[in-house]
């Protein structure tokens, strides 16, 4: 009891000593903490630096071996290229020597040899005469063939004219146009009329060949008949120009246009939700090819809290964007999760552009 009373009398000193020791222990603890942090930082830095040096030595060894391998490889390639260049230069020198010897022999033997040059020129003159004679013969054959073809065409036209004008043949009572009584002998056309047969009614409607630009019988050579005539050049096909549509158009074209096959539009031939289905298919395909479904997270995380801005922080909350600078509207009525779709697609309008429509016998464009 006496001890307890004595302690109560020393209460102020005990509290003061406790506070002093606690403060001293706190100072010592902070000093020890700082010392421990310095020792740990030094040790960790030493360990990291030693590890980096080890990695650097390993990288140097790998780079030394790789650069040595690549250097030896490029050196072998350069040696191979230099050897190939030396060989090509040697071969070129040898080819140059062979060409030099051959050209010298050829010049000495043929170019600067007077008698050989003379024989060559005489043979060349003879060859020239032979070629000229062959060219003249070929030209004569072409001319004779052309004259023969023109003679055949002239004979056809005159024979057709004789058949057409058969009614002008002279009779015993009255001489014809080509059998004048003032000439001692009749015209050549008279003999043609006698030898030809008259045309029937169906043959008269055919196109009559023209006699313009043809030769007379006196200008035609009848000697050469061995060469085949030159064939006629085929005329160019007519230009296919479609007539203007109207009430007098060909009925076959009108019916073909009226009963043509259906041409479905792009809106009918394709799916209306084709784009959405394609996107869903793309998403599914991408999901099946994933290796892991867990999203990628960074290795380091920032634990510091977000510090809001002073001008946007208030105990009543910040204003929504647009209410202060723009007109206030009810934005909820304009927001929808569905995509915008048009009621009528504009594609069929452009599909019918410049197409014709027939109604009855009249076709409009």
Per-residue pLDDT of 204-259, as tens digits, reads: 555 544 444 444 433 334 444 444 444 455 666 666 666 555 566 777 777 787 78
Q: Please indicate whether residue 129 or residue 108 has the higher confidence score (pLDDT).
A: 129
51-55, 203-207, 315-319, 358-362: which has the minimum mean pLDDT?
358-362
Q: Are 164 and 203 in contact (CB under 8 A)?
A: no
Most confident residue range from 94-98, 120-124, 230-234, 250-254: 94-98
How far apart CA 78 and CA 76 sit, in angstroms, is 5
How far apart CA 363 and CA 355 sit, in angstroms, is 11
The answer to whether residues 92 and 18 belong to one domain is yes
Of the pLDDT bands very low, low, confident and very high (cuts 50, 70, 90), residue 91 is very high
Exposure b/e, 136-161, CB count within 10 A at least 16 = b: eeeeeeeebbebbbbbeebeeebebb
- In 3D space, the residue among 140, 138, 134, 149 whose CA is nearest the CA of residue 228 turns out to be 149
308 part of a folded domain:
no
251 part of a folded domain:
no
Mean pLDDT of the chain: 76
pLDDT of 203 reads 59
Share of the chain above pLDDT 70, in %: 65
Long-range own/partner contacts, residues 218-227 (CB < 8 A, 24 or more apart): 220/147, 220/150, 220/151, 220/154, 221/144, 221/147, 222/151, 223/144, 224/144, 224/147, 224/148, 225/148, 227/141, 227/144, 227/145, 227/148
Q: Which of 96, 126, 157 is the last residue of a domain?
A: 96
Q: Are 176 and 193 in contact (CB under 8 A)?
A: yes
Per-residue pLDDT tens digits for 32-78 = 999 999 999 999 999 999 999 999 999 999 999 999 999 999 999 99
pLDDT of 224 reads 42
What are the angstrom distances between the C-alpha of 270 and each of 149, 246, 261, 273, 344?
Answer: 65, 36, 19, 9, 15
The answer to whether residues 19 and 86 belong to one domain is yes
What are the angstrom distances between the C-alpha of 128 and each of 65, 117, 119?
Answer: 77, 16, 14
- 129, containing H or E segment: helix 114-164
Coil vs helix vs strand at 363: strand
State the pTM of this model: 0.28
284 part of a folded domain:
no
- In 3D space, the residue among 138, 137, 135, 116 whose CA is nearest the CA of residue 127 turns out to be 135
What's the mean pLDDT in 165-178? 83
Of the pLDDT bands very low, low, confident and very high (cuts 50, 70, 90), residue 173 is confident
pLDDT of 211 reads 44
71 part of a folded domain:
yes
Partners of 364 in the β-ladder? 357
pLDDT of 275 reads 79
Q: Which of 202, 219, 236 is the last residue of a domain?
A: 219
Most confident residue range from 12-21, 146-155, 161-170: 146-155
- In 3D space, the residue among 195, 136, 128 whose CA is nearest the CA of residue 166 turns out to be 195
3-state secondary structure 42-87: HHHHHHHHHHHHHHHHHHHHHHHHHHHHHHHHHHHHHHHHHHHHHH
161-170, 208-217, 349-358: which has the minimum mean pLDDT?
208-217
Range(s) of the domain holding residue 158: 146-219
Domain count, the chain: 2
297 part of a folded domain:
no
* Tokens of residue 152, six digits: 């055949």
Q: Please indicate whether residue 189 or residue 4 has the higher confidence score (pLDDT).
A: 189
Q: Which of 169, 199, 219 is the last residue of a domain?
A: 219
155 part of a folded domain:
yes
């Amino acid at each position: 009891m006496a001890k307890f009373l004595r302690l109560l009398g020393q209460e102020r000193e005990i509290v003061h000593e406790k506070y002093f020791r606690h403060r001293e222990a706190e100072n010592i603890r902070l000093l020890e903490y700082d010392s421990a942090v310095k020792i740990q930082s030094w040790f960790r830095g030493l360990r990291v630096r030693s590890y980096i040096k080890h990695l650097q030595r390993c990288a140097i060894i790998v780079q030394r071996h790789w650069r040595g391998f690549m250097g030896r490889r490029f050196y072998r390639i350069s040696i191979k290229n230099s050897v190939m260049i030396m060989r090509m230069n040697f071969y070129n020198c040898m080819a140059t020597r062979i060409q030099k010897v051959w050209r010298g022999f050829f010049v000495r033997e043929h170019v600067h040899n007077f008698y050989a040059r003379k024989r060559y020129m005489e043979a060349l003159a003879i060859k020239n005469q032979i070629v000229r004679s062959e060219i003249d013969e070929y030209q004569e054959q072409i001319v004779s063939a052309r004259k023969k073809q023109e003679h055949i065409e002239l004979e056809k036209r005159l024979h057709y004219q004789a058949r057409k004008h058969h009614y002008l043949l002279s009779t015993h009572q009255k001489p014809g146009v080509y059998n004048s009584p003032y000439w001692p002998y009749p015209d050549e056309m008279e003999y043609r009329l006698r030898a030809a047969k008259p045309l029937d009614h169906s043959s008269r409607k055919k196109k009559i060949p023209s006699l313009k630009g043809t030769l007379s019988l006196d200008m035609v050579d009848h000697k050469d008949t061995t060469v085949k005539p030159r064939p006629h050049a085929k005329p160019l096909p007519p230009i296919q120009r479609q007539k203007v549509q109207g009430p007098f158009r060909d009925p076959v074209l009108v019916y073909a246009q009226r009963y043509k096959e259906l041409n479905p539009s792009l809106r009918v031939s394709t799916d209306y939700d084709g784009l959405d289905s394609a996107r869903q298919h793309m998403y599914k395909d991408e999901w099946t090819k994933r290796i892991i479904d867990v999203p990628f997270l960074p290795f380091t995380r920032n634990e510091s809290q977000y510090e809001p801005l002073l001008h946007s922080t208030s105990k009543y909350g910040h204003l929504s964007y647009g209410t202060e600078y723009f007109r206030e509207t009810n934005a909820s009525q304009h927001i929808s999760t569905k995509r915008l779709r048009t009621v009528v697609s504009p594609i069929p309008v452009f599909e019918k552009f410049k197409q014709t429509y027939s109604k009855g016998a009249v076709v409009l464009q």
